[in-house]
Amino acid sequence: MERGRAAAATGGGVVVAAPAKESWPELVGVSSEAAKAKIGEERPEVDVQVVAADAFVTMDFNASRVRVFVDSDDKVARAPKIG
């Protein structure tokens, strides 16, 4: 089965769900709280971290993490994504 896909047997057929969302470009410009809520609604299993846009962060990839980089007005500065 492909990464991020789930299948369920239903009456002799197979239903394949859409891949799990991995980025949220539509959240650029919204408040950190709104972004955190939306990501949590769509991917409740991930840890959403709000971080200043100019903060130093580790470069490791973590499939259970989404960093939301915000500007000085607490608005999302770039598209949040898994990692």
Stronger pLDDT, 63 or 11, i.e. the higher one: 63
Cβ within 8 Å of residue 33, ≥6 positions away: none
pLDDT tens-digit series, residues 19-65 = 889 999 999 999 999 999 999 999 999 999 999 999 999 999 999 99
- As separate numbers, helices (DSSP H) first and strands (DSSP E) second, the chain gives 1, 5
- Which of these, 71, 59, 70, 83, lies nearest to 36 by C-alpha position? 70
The pLDDT-based confidence of 12 (bands split at 50, 70, 90) is low
Q: How far is CA 61 from CA 5, 11, 72, 81, in A?
A: 20, 39, 26, 11
Predicted TM-score (pTM) of this structure: 0.77
Question: Looking at the DSSP assignment, which residues form a beta bridge with residue 53?
Answer: none
Q: What's the fold here for domain 21-82? A: Trypsin Inhibitor V; Chain A (3.30.10)
Q: Supply the pLDDT for residue 70.
A: 99
- Residue 42 one-letter amino acid: E
Q: Where are the domains of the chain?
A: 21-82
Answer whether 45's CB lies under 8 Å from 63's CB.
Answer: no
Q: Supply the pLDDT for residue 69.
A: 99
The pLDDT-based confidence of 1 (bands split at 50, 70, 90) is very low
